[in-house]
Amino acid sequence: MLRLSRATKSVALIGAAAITIVVMLDLLMPATWRARLSELGFDQVLAADSLFHRSKSKQSNASVIVVDIDRRSLEAVGPWPWPHATIARLVDAIAAAKPAVVALDILFAEQDSRSPAALARALGTLTNRSDFLALADTLPDGDQLLASVGRKAPLVFGFVLDPEGRRALPHVPILVRNQPRLDSIWRASGAVAPITKLTAAASGLGALSLPAESDGVVRYVPLLVAVGDQLMPGLSIESVRVARGASSYLLQSNPVTLTTDDLQIPLSADALLRLIPQPSSPHTDRTISAVDILNQPTSIARLAGATVLIGGSAPELGGLRQTVSGPLVPSVQIQADAIEQINEGRFPRAVTHSETVAILLLLAVCVLALFASIVFSPLLAALFLAASILLTWFGAVLSSFATDRLIDPLTPSLAGLAIFAVASITSFAATRRREALVRRRFEQHLAPAVVRRIVDQPTLLKLTGERREVTSLFTDVEGFTALTHRADAEELVTVLDHYFEGITKLVVEHGGMVDKIVGDAVHALFNVPLDLADHPRKAVDCAVAIRSWTESYRRSPAPQAIGFGRTRIGIETGEAIVGDVGLSSKLDYTAYGDAVNAAARFEAANKALASSICIGPTAAARCDPKSLRPLGNINVRGRDEPLAVYEPWPADWSSDMKEQYRAAFALIQSEPIRAAAAFDAIALTYTNDPVPKRMAIRIRTKTS
């Protein structure tokens, strides 16, 4: 079972709150904002889809050609608008190649005013002379010329949606079955249609209007629009119908589909076709300049059997639109993309119950982001989140590629990143707080390397309490109470500051932890808060270093001037309870147990033993016996039986003197008088070591 630390629980709670806020924000977000985010996600999914695009089995072999009225054509033929006769000549040249259909992405809302017939009619109307009107019937008429091309090739003209348009649109046969619901269809009360002469000659009529999103980008092409109560097709689908030779459309429900010929198109409620972004190279490959058609008839061979669209990339035509593919895409190229997409059977649309799926996906990514930030290290968490987001995007692209169903991966990805950022910041703050707590608790009591290890691996530390074996070390200054009465306060504090600094430094250097400083005493622990190998020996080594340093320190001018006493040390090893104890505002990491109490008793026993270091039996048993000299058995409060205690050998004792001491100690039980005499002899040799002399006194006192 996974156990979470307090900091991790805080991260989890804050992360869960953040997920709730993110989900609520997504639910309460204005529909236009949510739609825009989704559309940006769809853009990237469809762009990736197009890289792996593969035509479906019902793809048509029909090609799509764009005849472009570009800048070069305007320079060669003349400025825009061209006379209808010029456009008729262009369409007539195209019709000679026998295309499947010719669709014009140009609105012919007004009669041609620049042809000879139009000029004669205008003059007759102006002068009220009937002979000019009669003459007009014999002169070339641009509108009539354009309409007559309809006998050579099927023509599809376009109209635009306009609430103020009042011209009636010709009827396009759309049969409706079972009342399909198109609640979001693009609807207008009126439209601007081509002149009657052209619509009468046309084989089809489709909407030229292209809907732009709130960011101004054209992402959709209408398959159907509503003009008042009349359903009308878009230019792209109408061109496909005419090219296939179908006579009508069938619109039906369950599911909503639009059928023409053998082509069945699934419709969403808005009857729009989501465009798949295309690179610019296909546009170039399928495009022929209008001037080349007019001047080089050999270039029309490619048009045979093709769907031909006429439009313009020149800015003068006003047909440039911003799309996902680029900022200035001619509307005729957008219509051509839609036709190719329809022929290939690609109809991307949102998945069923898209809002529910979006919320579930968002929630899943957010939970994974929170899980990663809690369970893994920052680097692994970032990699896990990146993998989760990549998997989300891969699934969305695969769904688009395989089923034409669109899933928005952008909103969940952004939400996941937001949750990860919140969790990371929270975790960072908790980590910094934990590190500060650890440093505040231990940086003055432990070696820097140990503190760094605790900070890096906080699970190693149990502040709540645990049983563990420790070695306790107590120090005390001999005659300190009397010293406080005779020494100047400022001088004493200065001496103590340097004294404690020296001792704590030695404790830390030997791997110990300074538990507390009380009066003149220092309490140190070894094997806490982390495991310390061979901790009894290291505590004894520390005691020897303290003894050596304090003897040197007390002979320096300031301590010597106030008569600073020697340092006595007690050491013992045993089980203790360690952990934080105290109030929430003042916690103390300390230890409780017999070993701690015994070390304090052994420190006090130095006075009777005349020793500087008194080591208890458990700690002594864990050290090299040759490194310690026995001090005999002493009675300790709280213990029924006497305890054997030891002290490290003085540094200046030779091997012979150590053997002499051991021999004298071995006589204590069998021949105490001889033992006392032997210790007296040793004391005469080492006058600066009071222990042998005190041993002799203790033996005589005990035997008397």
Helix 235-244 and helix 331-344, axial crossing angle in degrees, nearest 10: 50
Query: Which position has the token pair 């270039």?
Result: 299
Pairing of strands 521-526, 513-518: antiparallel
| CA 55/CA 346 separation, integer angstroms | 8
Q: What is the pLDDT of residue 61?
A: 46
Mark out the alpha helices in 29-140 (DSSP H runs): 31-51, 71-77, 84-95, 116-127, 130-136
Confidence of residue 584 (pLDDT cuts 50, 70, 90): very low
Q: Is 151 a residue whose pLDDT tops 80? A: yes
Q: How many beta carbons lie within 10 A of that of residue 206, not counting itself?
A: 29
How far out from the chain centre does Cα 660 lie?
74
Give 323's DSSP letter.
B
pLDDT classification of 415: cutoffs 50, 70, 90: confident
The confidence band for 314, taking pLDDT boundaries of 50, 70 and 90, is very high
If residue 289 lies in a helix (H) or strand (E), which one and from where to where?
strand 287-289
Task: Judge whether residue 27 has pLDDT over 60.
Answer: no
DSSP state of 82: P
Strands 307-311 and 101-104, by their bridges, are parallel
Q: Is the model's pLDDT at 583 over the cut of 80?
A: no
pLDDT of residue 514: 87
- Of 83-92, 141-150, 196-205, 568-577, the range with the lowest mean pLDDT is 141-150
* Residue 74 pLDDT: 94
Total count of residues recorded for the chain: 704
CB distance 619 to 573 below 8 Å: yes
* Cross-strand bridge partners of residue 525: 472, 513
Distance CA 123, CA 658 (A): 141
Torsion over CA of 92, 98, 103 and 107, rounded to 10 degrees? 10
Average pLDDT, the chain: 84
Architecture of domain 462-649 in this structure: 2-Layer Sandwich (3.30)
648 versus 462: which is more confidently predicted?
A: 648
For residue 610, give Cα distances in angstroms to 232, 311, 613, 689, 698: 114, 112, 9, 9, 11
Q: What pLDDT is attached to residue 436?
A: 64
Residue 207 near residue 232 (C-beta atoms within 8 A)? yes
pLDDT band at 60 (very low <50, low <70, confident <90, very high): very low
Percent residues over pLDDT 70 in the chain: 83
Residue 624 confidence (pLDDT) above 90: yes
- In DSSP terms, 518 is beta-bridged to 521
Is residue 441 a contact partner of residue 388, using CB atoms and an 8 Å limit?
no
Task: Tell which wins on pLDDT, 591 or 493.
Answer: 493
The pLDDT value given to residue 128: 64
Whole-angstrom Cα distance, residue 631 to residue 641? 16
Q: Which two tokens stand for residue 176?
A: 């409706």
Q: Looking only at Cα atoms, what is the longest distance across the chain?
A: 164
- 358-411 pLDDT, tens digit each: 788 878 887 887 777 777 778 888 898 899 989 988 988 888 888 888 888 888
pLDDT for 478 beyond 70? yes
**Beta strand spans in 234-313 (E):** 249-252, 257-260, 263-266, 272-274, 287-289, 307-311
pLDDT at 497 over 70: yes
- Residue 40 pLDDT: 86
Average pLDDT over residues 152-162: 93
More confident residue, 375 or 540: 540
The residues of the chain that CATH labels 3.30.70.1230 are 462-649
Chain centroid offset of residue 57 CA: 40
Q: Which H helix or E strand runs over 18?
A: helix 6-28
- Per-residue 3-state assignment (H helix, E strand, C coil) for 165-228: CCCCCCCCCEEEECCCCCCCCCEECCEECCCHHHHHHCCEEEECCCCECCCCCECEEECEEEEC
Rounded-to-integer distance, Cα 602 and Cα 589, Å: 23
Give the model's confidence band at 2: pLDDT under 50 very low, under 70 low, under 90 confident, else very high. very low
Helices and strands, counts by H and E, the chain: 25, 28
Q: What is the pLDDT of residues 250-301, one digit of tens each?
A: 999 989 999 999 899 999 999 999 999 887 666 888 899 999 998 876 667 8
Over range 127-133, report the average pLDDT.
Answer: 59
